[in-house]
């Protein structure tokens, strides 16, 4: 009565039976319904665990993840506002520097204009004095020319008289 015991044949027959029953069950909606119910139970359990943990942490006065997320978002908002203020401050400092540079350039220009004005006044006074001297010399020359003309005229008039007298 010894039959040959073949483990491979036993495994093969078990695999074929299990495979056919598994294929039949897969054709039905049973596995997908069971998986959906299992996922629903898992999600419900996760939700209850989260709520319980959150209530416990609130009672113990310990911040939760949501509290930490809110705080981190507030910190990020404050940080961005500080960055904006720093940029604004740098811009105003740059503008003040440029204003100071412009003011110093304006004062330099006003000093240069004052020096030019004094030089122009000196030139004008010299030109006026030269003009006065020139006018005096011209007046003197005109008087001398007038005297010459008068004397020449008197001389020609005498010459004419003597010429008429000689005739």
- Only one residue has tokens 């110093």, namely 104
- Write down the domain spans for the chain: 20-62
As a whole number of angstroms, the distance between CA 64 and CA 58 comes to 8
pLDDT given at position 1: 45
- pLDDT of the chain, 167 residues: tens digit per residue: 456 767 778 888 888 888 887 777 767 666 677 778 889 999 999 999 989 998 998 899 998 888 899 999 999 999 999 999 999 999 999 999 999 999 999 999 999 999 999 999 999 999 999 888 888 888 888 888 777 777 766 666 666 666 666 65
What pTM was estimated for this model as a whole?
0.40
Residue 48's CB: how many other CB atoms inside 10 A?
A: 10
As a whole number of angstroms, the distance between CA 80 and CA 40 comes to 42
* Sign of the torsion formed by the C-alpha atoms of 47, 53, 56 and 61: negative
Contact between 63 and 57 under an 8 Å Cβ cutoff? The reply is yes
pLDDT given at position 166: 63
pLDDT given at position 160: 64
């Amino acid at each position: 009565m010894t039959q040959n015991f073949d483990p491979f044949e036993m495994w093969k027959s078990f695999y074929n039976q299990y495979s056919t029953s598994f294929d039949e069950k897969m054709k039905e909606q049973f596995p997908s319904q069971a998986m959906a119910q299992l996922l629903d139970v898992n999600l419900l359990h996760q939700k209850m665990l989260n709520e319980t943990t959150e209530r416990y942490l609130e009672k113990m006065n310990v911040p939760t993840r949501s509290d930490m997320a809110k705080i981190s978002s507030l910190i990020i908002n404050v940080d961005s506002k500080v960055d904006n203020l720093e940029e604004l401050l740098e811009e105003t400092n740059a503008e003040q520097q440029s204003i100071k540079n412009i003011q110093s350039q304006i004062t330099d220009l006003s000093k240069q204009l004052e020096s030019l004005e004094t030089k122009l006044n000196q030139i004008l006074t010299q030109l006026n004095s030269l003009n006065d001297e020139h006018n005096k010399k011209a007046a003197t020359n005109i008087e001398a020319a007038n005297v010459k003309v008068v004397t020449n005229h008197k001389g020609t008039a005498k010459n004419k008289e003597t010429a008429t007298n000689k005739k």
